[in-house]
């Protein structure tokens, strides 16, 4: 899970979103805003929303992979902050990303904040609960649209499990733990296996590049090989291989022979 690069949405689509959001914000009552947000979202569509989806596709990791797990196909427009809790963010561009069903489904309308006592407060609204504004606090879920997840967590390359980044503060640690748990990043065995396979694929690609460089392959061919590192699946694995390269002898040796790999 890495920070999603900022991509400019076409002005016509931004205007479309702003107009829809204005309809919600114009209502004086929070409960009415929730109802209006659900209604407008259910009836969204047209060329402008297709632009939203196509732009989100460009922002996906790999070949339209989920921005959370980086493994499954991204086929659902996800509200990072659930629209049922935060109607004011229903049509906000910065609240969207493309996710897969296995990530988006369990997350659904669950959200949490960290209160002044550093306690996590779940905000999910049950069926017959009153429709009132959620309690305020620090968002417990890491938003890769405007936060760098790798400042909160690290991928242990020995186990392929995510863990909180060593030495971070209590709030940052709770954000990491909550996000890892809510997305089930460590409990889905196939994700752990896929990361291990990605590690081997990246390692083999590094070895191939170093060999090609030693054989004095054409610069154009070498640059083409480097560019392919940016489009592989599980980019977090690659980011961590670079971040942790000095601690792993095999990777450190390859980087020493081709330091340009750190920029790939």
Q: Is the pLDDT of residue 108 over 80?
A: no
3 assigned to some structural domain: no
Q: Is the domain of 169 the same as that of 202? A: no
Q: Is the domain of 153 the same as that of 242? A: no
CB atoms within 10 A of CB 196: 15
Residue 50: per-residue pLDDT: 94
CB atoms within 10 A of CB 161: 17
Q: What is the dihedral of CA 17, 20, 21, 26, to 10 degrees?
A: 150
5 assigned to some structural domain: no
1 assigned to some structural domain: no
pTM metric for this prediction = 0.90
Mean pLDDT for the chain overall: 94
Residue 264: per-residue pLDDT: 92
Q: Is the domain of 127 the same as that of 32? A: yes
2 assigned to some structural domain: no
Residue 255: per-residue pLDDT: 97
Confidence of residue 45 (pLDDT cuts 50, 70, 90): confident
Q: Is the domain of 37 the same as that of 73? A: yes
Q: Is the domain of 174 the same as that of 241? A: no
End position of a domain, from candidates 182, 203, 236: 182
Number of domains in the chain: 2
170 assigned to some structural domain: yes
125-131 average pLDDT score: 87
Q: Is the domain of 145 the same as that of 228? A: no
CB atoms within 10 A of CB 248: 16
Confidence of residue 105 (pLDDT cuts 50, 70, 90): confident
Residue 119: per-residue pLDDT: 96
DSSP state of 124: P
- Please write the tens of the pLDDT for every residue from 165-191: 999 999 999 999 999 999 999 999 999
Confidence of residue 127 (pLDDT cuts 50, 70, 90): confident
119-143 average pLDDT score: 92
- Please write the tens of the pLDDT for every residue from 225-250: 999 998 888 999 999 999 999 999 99
Residue 88 contacts residue 251 (beta carbons within 8 Å): no
Decide: helix, strand or coil at residue 234: coil
Give 73 or 115, the one with higher predicted confidence: 115
Q: Is the domain of 168 the same as that of 200? A: no
194 assigned to some structural domain: yes
Q: Is the domain of 119 the same as that of 195? A: no
- Please write the tens of the pLDDT for every residue from 195-219: 999 999 999 999 999 999 999 999 9
Note down the domain range covering 242. 189-263
End position of a domain, from candidates 132, 153, 182: 182
- Please write the tens of the pLDDT for every residue from 60-101: 887 788 999 999 888 888 899 999 999 999 999 999 999 998
Residue 76: per-residue pLDDT: 85
What does the block give as tokens for 65? 């992979």
Q: Is the domain of 94 the same as that of 216? A: no
Residue 73: per-residue pLDDT: 86
Q: Is the domain of 97 the same as that of 141? A: yes
Buried b (16+ CB within 10 A) or exposed e, 112-140: bbbeeeeebeebebeeeeeeeebeebebb
Residue 240: per-residue pLDDT: 98
Residue 62: per-residue pLDDT: 74
56-63 average pLDDT score: 85
CB atoms within 10 A of CB 163: 15
Q: Is the domain of 129 the same as that of 172? A: yes
Q: Is the pLDDT of residue 132 over 90?
A: yes
Residue 164: per-residue pLDDT: 98
212 burial level (CB within 10 Å; 0-12, 13-18, 19+): middle
End position of a domain, from candidates 131, 151, 182: 182
What does the block give as tokens for 193? 């296996």
Decide: helix, strand or coil at residue 41: helix
Q: Is the domain of 162 the same as that of 206? A: no
């Amino acid at each position: 899970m890495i920070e999603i690069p900022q991509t400019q949405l076409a002005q016509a689509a931004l205007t479309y979103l702003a107009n829809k959001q204005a309809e919600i914000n114009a209502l004086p009552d929070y409960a009415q805003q929730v109802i209006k947000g659900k209604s407008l979202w259910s009836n969204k569509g047209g060329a402008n929303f297709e632009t939203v989806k196509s732009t989100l596709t460009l922002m996906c990791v790999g070949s339209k992979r989920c921005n959370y797990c980086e493994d499954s196909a991204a086929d659902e427009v996800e509200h990072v902050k659930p629209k049922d809790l935060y109607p004011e963010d229903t049509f906000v561009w910065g609240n969207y990303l493309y996710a897969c069903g296995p990530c988006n489904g369990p997350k659904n309308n669950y959200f949490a904040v960290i209160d002044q006592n550093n306690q996590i407060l779940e905000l999910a609204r049950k069926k017959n609960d009153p429709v009132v504004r959620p309690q305020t606090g620090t968002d417990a879920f890491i938003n890769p649209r405007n936060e760098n997840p790798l400042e909160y967590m690290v991928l242990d390359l020995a186990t392929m499990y995510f863990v909180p980044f060593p030495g971070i503060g209590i709030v940052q640690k709770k954000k990491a733990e909550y996000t890892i748990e809510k997305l089930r990043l460590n409990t889905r065995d196939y994700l752990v296996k896929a990361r291990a396979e990605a590690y081997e694929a990246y390692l083999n690609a590094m070895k191939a590049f170093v060999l090609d460089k030693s054989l004095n392959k054409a610069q154009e061919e070498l640059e083409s090989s480097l560019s392919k590192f940016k489009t592989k699946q599980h980019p977090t694995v690659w980011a961590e291989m670079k971040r942790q390269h000095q601690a792993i002898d095999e990777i450190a040796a390859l980087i020493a022979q081709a330091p340009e790999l750190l920029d790939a």
